[in-house]
Amino acid sequence: MTGLGNTRLCGPADLERMRQELLSRRVPSAKSVHVCTGPGCAAKGSPKLYELFCAAVSQAGADVQVQAKAVGCHGLCEYGPIVLVQPGDIFYQRVEEPDVAEIFRETVLGGRLVEHLLYENPATGQKADTVDKIPFYKVQKRIALAYNGLIDPTSIEDYIAAGGYTALPKVLNGMGSEQIIEEVERAGLRGRGGGGFPTARKWRSCRQAQGSPKYVICNGDEGDPGAFMDRAIMEGNPHSVIEGMLIGAYAIGSSQGYIYVRNEYPLSVERLKQAIEQARELGLLGQNILGSSFAFDIRINRGGGAFVCGESTALMASLEGRPGEPRAKYIHTVESGLHGKPTNLNNVETWANVPAIINRGGEWFASIGTEKSKGTKVFSLVGKVVNSGLVEVPMGITLRQIIEQIGGGIRDGKHFKAVQTGGPSGGCIPAEHLDARVDFDELTKLGSMMGSGGMIVMDEDTCMVKVARYFIEFLQKESCGKCTPCREGLAQMLHILNRITAGEAEVGDVEELGVLAELLEGTALCALGKTAANPVISTIRYFRDEYDAHILDRHCPAKECRGLFRYEIDPEACKACGICMKNCPEDAITGEKKVPHVINQEKCTLCGTCWEKCPFTAVLKV
Amino acid sequence: MIQNDKLIEQIVDRYDKDVGMLIPMMQDLQAECGYLPVNQLRDLSRQLEVPLSRLYAVATFYASFRLAPKGAHEVTLCMGTVCYLKGAPSISEAICREFRVEPGGTTRDGLFTLQAVNCVGACAVAPVMLVDGKYYDNVTPTSAIEILYSLATDKAIAEKEAET
């Protein structure tokens, strides 16, 4: 710790003293530059920006009060790398290395805005200088992501100064187990990992279960492709997860926790490890936490890259050092989970919501959202939408609001076709249901599900049969193979979908898919298999015409499935430049100077090279 | 690298010989060797008193374990939904065609191992490719090939420098 002298906090008073001390050290006029190092911004080179800002800070004179901070995902990844200057909430987007000096000179030292780095509303052309003026952030409500982008995830002091670790002493100082569970019950918190099971009921069952020790697990195996909510929380505010787990463990009566993190998230592992170390140093983990008799510690396990390990029993098998195969759940894991002991497993986002519920009360949390889905939900809004990024919205908001108001609509002036929610277990929701409210039950009614929070927007160029095929292929590869319906059923479904997308399908194939889907839903062992057919069922339900076009007309309406459409050159648009001719690997294009070129359909293998290379978009898919 | 005969002993000690920590142990072994050499696995099975078949079951169940050495560079291509929609399959095809490598395989010259993964969680900047952990955003078939050729050039330069 940096000079606070109290390495171990012996009671809530110590913690409060530390917080006051941290706050009193802050100079109100001091500037702070926040560089987003979330996955999106990091991919665009933000760690280098952070280094440059640090260098600039160290070169600034001693009279300048300024610091640079690397913070977690800020959400608007599309416009990354994002840099915020505090105080003032000044929002700079698409910052590049040469801009660092300018920001430092103009904004940090001079207090002036750097106009060309401000966000410009594409619809109105208006510039926004602060975060709250950007439409993307206006509709959002942040609980789980509240401190993301504000605090340095590698500093426990930042979390404490921002009001972190206030729920824990509140709990230790006189809230009984039942009282905590009641508060969570009042909040109406439901599992954010996909299933939406009431968290309080799970905690209570685990508390009441016979057997010891009891375990709590944080499921950070965010396997759904297209989802990075949990990653953003683990990397942007790891202490919120730890504090949530501490509270849960105290309520349940557990002294050992595990966080299971996906193999693909090495930075999450690093951040969590560091956070756990810091919490241990301060006595917020370990024996006699904050001077009480409560003891709890957390161990991190890295996954091995198996999607099925997001399923609770498979995850526990993996924690026991075995292949991640699920088991039937007629005995719940709250009674017999890890090592056969009562185990309570919640998702990262669920845990991160807990401190806020304790601090602000269950009623406050329940005042947000719909009747049966309370609070907020984090979504990764991605795909063919203008503003890709991470959003947190109150439950009950409509899909249209998310996609149009926050997401800014569809890219490149295309038309919306569907939004896929719930990952491989979810489904595709078409335009006619865009006014549906986002809530656990509503999405299930539409044949999709809330899932962990991936929201993938698709436009007119997306073939829905191919989307279904993608998910079935994904699940077929990831099926652990323990139960026959999943192992064989998915293989057969993939076989049929391959036939359809290759234009070799037969009439009756769609019905066959329906039969297999029913079989999977009714007989598969775990949730992976039971919900595996959802992408197929929902696309058949809403986009049957596309299936029929593939099967009856041998035509792909979205022109994505190779062989089910042709390439042609538009003689009006063709400038006879010869680029397509030069690049065609089959010499299928003929033409001369000043004469529009023609594709010889018999020779064409539909590789699409001409379409990619044409500088005048004269090659058309028909 | 830690001396070979001590390696397994050290890894096993790191986790107090807890069989439940088999996966982290194997991850450590892979981090050390780049893959899971069969002799080391045999050694690990002996020390943990767990049949080799179980280690093999774990090694083949989880996608991140490798039983063969990898190339000089690790190329990871994201095949998540968003990357897929935005053209990852054509990137994969282009790489495979250009470098005559299969997903999961290593180029003949050992320059890189190509791995397709489900999702790296950087969907907002899809399609994404990683080279030795470094992210490349909004990749296209052409840019991917350029990036990979630059690895070869770097290698050639390094070799030349080593010669002179």
Q: Which residue has the tokens 């370990």?
A: A286
- What's the CA gap between B164 and B159, in Å, rounded? 9
Per-residue confidence at A3, pLDDT binned at 50, 70, 90? very low
B144 in the same domain as B84: yes
Q: Which CATH class is domain A567-621?
A: alpha beta
B99 in the same domain as B51: no
Domain residues for B148? 73-163
Q: Mind telling me how many Å the CA of A383 is from chain B's nearest CA?
A: 5
**What is the distance, to the nearest Å, from the Cα of residue B126 to the centroid of all Cα atoms in its chain?**
21
CA distances from A453 to A120, A368, A490 (A): 28, 18, 24
B111 CB near a chain A CB, below 8 Å?
no
C-beta separation of A180 from A171 below 8 A: yes
CB-CB under 8 Å, A320 with B137: no
Q: What mean pLDDT comes out for the span A178-200?
A: 94
- Burial per residue of A421-460, b for 16 or more beta-carbon CB atoms within 10 angstroms, e otherwise: bbbbbbbbbbeebbebbbbbebbbebbbbbbbbbbbbbbe
CA distances from B47 to A301, A375, B41 (A): 21, 50, 10
Of the candidates A147, A165, A173, the residue with the CA atom closest to the CA atom of residue A283:
A165
C-beta separation of A187 from A357 below 8 A: yes
Q: Is the pLDDT of residue A5 over 70?
A: no
Of the candidates B82, B121, B141, the beta carbon closest to that of A39 is on: B121
Number of domains chain B is built from: 2
Q: What mean pLDDT comes out for the span A263-273?
A: 93
B89 in the same domain as B149: yes
Strand partners, A430: A418
CB-CB under 8 Å, A43 with B118: no
Q: B21 to chain A: which residues are within 8 Å by CB?
A: 321
C-beta separation of A592 from A576 below 8 A: yes
Q: Which two tokens stand for residue A277?
A: 């170390």
B121 in the same domain as B86: yes
B42 in the same domain as B108: no
B153 in the same domain as B79: yes
Backbone angles phi, psi at B79, to 5 degrees: -115, 25
B44 in the same domain as B125: no
Residue A149: per-residue pLDDT? 87
B52 in the same domain as B131: no
Helices and strands (H, E) in chain A, number of each type: 24, 19
Shortest CA distance from A222: residue in chain B: B121
- What's the CA gap between A324 and A223, in Å, rounded? 13
Topology at the third CATH level for domain A464-552: de novo design (two linked rop proteins) (1.20.1440)
Topology at the third CATH level for domain A164-366: Rossmann fold (3.40.50)
- Burial per residue of B119-133, b for 16 or more beta-carbon CB atoms within 10 angstroms, e otherwise: bbbbbbbbbbbbbee
Of the candidates B21, B65, B121, the beta carbon closest to that of A222 is on: B121
Residue A1: per-residue pLDDT? 41
Task: Please report, as a single letter, which amino acid is at residue A25.
Answer: R
Of the candidates A480, A479, A471, the residue with the CA atom closest to the CA atom of residue A449:
A471
Q: B82 to chain A: which residues are within 8 Å by CB?
A: 225-226, 382-383, 456
Q: Which two tokens stand for residue A356?
A: 């806020």
Question: Could you tell me which residues come within 8 angstroms of residue A283 by beta carbon, excluding any fewer than 6 positions away?
Answer: A8, A9, A10, A289, A290, A291
- What's the CA gap between A516 and A513, in Å, rounded? 5
Of the candidates B62, B24, B63, B7, the residue with the CA atom closest to the CA atom of residue A320:
B24
Residue B123: per-residue pLDDT? 86
CA distances from A398 to A394, A402, A605, B27 (A): 10, 7, 44, 43
Report the CATH number of the A376-459 domain: 3.10.20.600
Q: B98 to chain A: which residues are within 8 Å by CB?
A: none
Give the three-state DSSP class for A219. strand
Backbone angles phi, psi at A522, to 5 degrees: -85, -25
Whether A27-138 and A567-621 share one fold: the answer is no
Task: Please report, as a single letter, which amino acid is at residue A329.
Answer: K
Q: Is the pLDDT of residue A310 over 80?
A: yes
Q: Render pLDDT for A463-485 as a digit per residue (tens, 0 to 9).
A: 999 999 999 999 999 999 999 99
Q: Which residue has the tokens 């070169």?
A: A59
Final residue of a structural domain among B17, B36, B61: B61
Residue A4: per-residue pLDDT? 53
Of the candidates A77, A302, A470, the beta carbon closest to that of B84 is on: A470
Q: B63 to chain A: which residues are within 8 Å by CB?
A: 304-306
Q: Render pLDDT for A418-459 as a digit per residue (tens, 0 to 9).
A: 999 999 989 999 999 999 999 999 999 999 999 889 999 999
Per-residue confidence at A600, pLDDT binned at 50, 70, 90? very high
- What's the CA gap between A122 and A128, in Å, rounded? 11
CB pairs under 8 A between A and B: 139
Q: Would you tell me which residues 61-90 of chain B have a C-beta closer than 8 angstroms to some C-beta of chain A?
A: 61-65, 79-82, 84-86, 90
Q: Which domain CATH number covers B80? A: 3.40.30.10
- What's the CA gap between A182 and B76, in Å, rounded? 46
Task: Please give chain B's pLDDT, 164 residues, in tens.
Answer: 455 668 999 999 999 998 888 999 999 999 999 899 999 999 999 999 999 999 999 999 998 899 989 899 999 999 998 899 888 998 999 999 999 999 989 999 999 999 998 888 888 888 999 999 889 999 999 999 999 999 888 777 777 777 76
Q: Is the pLDDT of residue A330 over 90?
A: no
Residue B3: per-residue pLDDT? 54
Residue B55 domain-assigned? yes
C-beta separation of A393 from A140 below 8 A: yes
Q: What pTM was computed for the model?
A: 0.92
Residue B12 domain-assigned? yes
CB-CB under 8 Å, A382 with B126: yes
B147 in the same domain as B85: yes
Q: Which residue has the tokens 């007989």?
A: A523
Shortest CA distance from A301: residue in chain B: B24
Give chain B's length. 164
Strand partners, B36: none
Give the three-state DSSP class for A91. strand
Query: E-assigned strands of A443-531?
Result: 454-459
Final residue of a structural domain among B61, B92, B108: B61
- What's the CA gap between A250 and A294, in Å, rounded? 7
B83 in the same domain as B51: no
Of the candidates A128, A120, A160, A153, the residue with the CA atom closest to the CA atom of residue A34:
A153
Q: Mind telling me how many Å the CA of B6 is from chain A's nearest CA?
A: 22
- What's the CA gap between A410 and A404, in Å, rounded? 8
Q: Which two tokens stand for residue A487?
A: 């192992």
Q: Which two tokens stand for residue A38?
A: 């979330």
Q: Mind telling me how many Å the CA of B28 is from chain A's nearest CA?
A: 11
Q: A303 to chain B: which residues are within 8 Å by CB?
A: 62, 64
B89 in the same domain as B54: no
B100 in the same domain as B33: no
C-beta separation of A232 from A271 below 8 A: no
Per-residue confidence at A121, pLDDT binned at 50, 70, 90? confident
Q: Which two tokens stand for residue A225?
A: 């492709």
Q: Is the pLDDT of residue A2 over 50?
A: no
Q: A612 to chain B: which residues are within 8 Å by CB?
A: 141
CATH 3.40.367.20, domain A27-138, yes or no: no
Q: Which two tokens stand for residue A613?
A: 């290379």
- What's the CA gap between A72 and A38, in Å, rounded? 5
CB-CB under 8 Å, B128 with A306: no
Shortest CA distance from A391: residue in chain B: B124
Q: Mind telling me how many Å the CA of A169 is from chain B's nearest CA?
A: 32
B120 CB near a chain A CB, below 8 Å?
yes
B132 CB near a chain A CB, below 8 Å?
no
Interface probe with B: pick from A264, A414, A534, most Cβ of B within 10 Å: A264
Residue B164: per-residue pLDDT? 65
For chain A, the domains span 27-138, 164-366, 376-459, 464-552, 567-621
